[in-house]
């Protein structure tokens, strides 16, 4: 039976790198994969999964209206899809996560979703919340806080590196906009910004 996996972590934990390695492993064995990434993530190139260590791969961009199950079913009808891999899975809608569960349960295609668990205010993203509820396997990838503890939170910062406490849930950025911290340091720095 195929499974739905959710690999989650704070920023800079290597989620995209791990996804690209999994994709490579399938393709190296001659198996077809399908990669998806959030269309909103335009830090490098729309429709490309890019890791901070320089790896990249083309992917199908998705937004809230994308029917991922239909796209996969169309390709699967012509060529067996061995695995579906989704980067930036926090940006999925709950309905899209249900589609991924359908692909695993009914179509028997394993689905590996990678994303953030929480936003810069410590709140769950819609896609992450649904994945936490439905995934057969939850895997936390580790990142490190400036103090050496495990980083689990994402602090949004301004151009001077000061914590930002308010704003839209989604603001695309990298090391210039976000810092991965342990809960203790996230709480301290967030409180200072309020």
Annotated binding site for ATP: 9-16, 87-90
Asked about 88 being catalytic, the answer comes back as: yes
Q: What distance in Å separates the CA atoms of residue 120 and residue 142, rounded to the nearest whole number? A: 17
Phi, psi of 124 (to 5 degrees): -65, 145
Residues belonging to the binding site for Zn(2+) are 145, 147, 182, 185
Q: How crowded is residue 158: how many other Cβ atoms within 10 Å of its Cβ?
A: 11
Residues belonging to the binding site are 9-16, 87-90, 145, 147, 178, 182, 185
Catalytic residue among 79, 88, 140, 160: 88
Torsion over CA: 42, 44, 45, 46 (sign):
negative
Residues belonging to the binding site for substrate are 178
* Burial profile 10-44: b = 16 or more Cβ within 10 angstroms, e = fewer: bbbbbbbbbbbebbeebeeeeeebbbbbbbebeee
- The H-assigned helical ranges of the chain are 15-28, 68-78, 94-105, 126-134, 183-193
Residues with catalytic function? 88
């Amino acid at each position: 039976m195929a499974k739905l996996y959710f690999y989650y972590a704070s920023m800079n934990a290597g989620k995209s790198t791990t996804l690209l390695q999994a994709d490579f492993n399938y393709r190296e064995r001659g198996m077809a994969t399908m990669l998806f990434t959030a269309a909103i993530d335009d830090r490098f190139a729309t429709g490309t999964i890019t890791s901070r260590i320089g790896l990249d791969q083309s992917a199908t961009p998705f937004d809230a209206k994308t029917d991922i199950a239909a796209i996969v079913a169309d390709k699967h009808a012509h060529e067996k899809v061995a695995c579906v891999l989704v980067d930036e899975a926090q940006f999925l809608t709950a309905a899209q996560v249900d589609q991924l569960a359908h692909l695993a349960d009914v179509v028997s295609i394993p689905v590996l979703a990678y994303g953030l668990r929480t936003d810069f205010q410590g709140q769950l993203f819609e896609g992450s919340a649904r994945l936490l509820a439905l995934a057969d396997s939850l895997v936390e990838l580790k990142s490190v806080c400036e103090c050496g503890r495990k980083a689990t939170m994402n602090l949004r910062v301004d151009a001077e590196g000061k914590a930002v406490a308010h704003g839209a849930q989604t603001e695309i950025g990298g090391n210039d906009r976000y810092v991965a911290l342990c809960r203790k340091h996230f709480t301290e720095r967030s409180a200072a910004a309020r």
